[in-house]
Structure 1
Amino acid sequence: MTEKLDLTGKSHEDLARLSRALETLSNHRFVRIHNSIWLLMWYQFVRGLALGLGTVIGASALVSVVVLLLSQVEFVPILGSWATQIIEEIQQAN
């Protein structure tokens, strides 16, 4: 009992819709970038630069805020003197 696939009516509509969806997908920027090794390498290079720059800026801001907060802590002898030494080192470097 083998049944033949009926490609009339709704099946043709489904096939046409699938064809349009694949065409839309293949024209998408993400797919076009991944079709070319040079575009993909350039995209990943720029992405890496942005990630590195964001990491450095974020870490610098976080460290400066932590040092500023620690410099305000004078009532804990070890942390207060340690923060004061860090601030003095930073000011001498400038």
Structure 2
Amino acid sequence: MKEDNNHPKKIDELLAESKSISLQLQQLNEHKLIKAYNSIPQLLWFHLLKGVAFGLGSVLGATVVLSALVYVLAQFEFIPYIGEWVSAIIDVVKTPTTD
């Protein structure tokens, strides 16, 4: 029967890889995001802040896009049919709403 001389080397390599994986898992468990997901209050706070940031970004983005669109449409008033339509849109936008 042939004896395998590489057997101890393979075991040493596997042990080294196992220790490396264990160290990486320990580092991952110490990450702030993982700690936040392990704590319900921190997770709720994180999601609340994320939702506020998303809502604020959406409102600001829509404001910028609509302002640019109204400005561009206001430049088309000299075209006969489009100008009347744009003027009507601008009047609706500028008219304050009453509740």
User: TM-score scaled by structure 2?
Assistant: 0.75
Q: Which has the larger radius of gyration?
A: 2
Match of 2:67 in 1: 64
Residue matched to 2:4? none
Q: Which stretches in structure 2 are left out of the alignment for 5+ residues?
A: 1-7
Match of residue 77 from structure 2? 74
* TM-score, reference length from structure 1: 0.78
**Match of residue 55 from structure 2:** 52
- Give 1:16's match in structure 2, choosing from 5, 16, 19: 19
Where in structure 1 are there 5+ consecutive unaligned residues?
A: 1-5
The alignment's C-alpha RMSD in Å is: 2.2
Amino acid paired to 2:43 = L
Q: How many residues get paired?
A: 89
Q: Which has the higher contact order (CA 8 A, sep 6+)?
A: 1
Any runs of at least 4 consecutive aligned residues in structure 1 with deviations exceeding 6 A, and if so which?
A: none
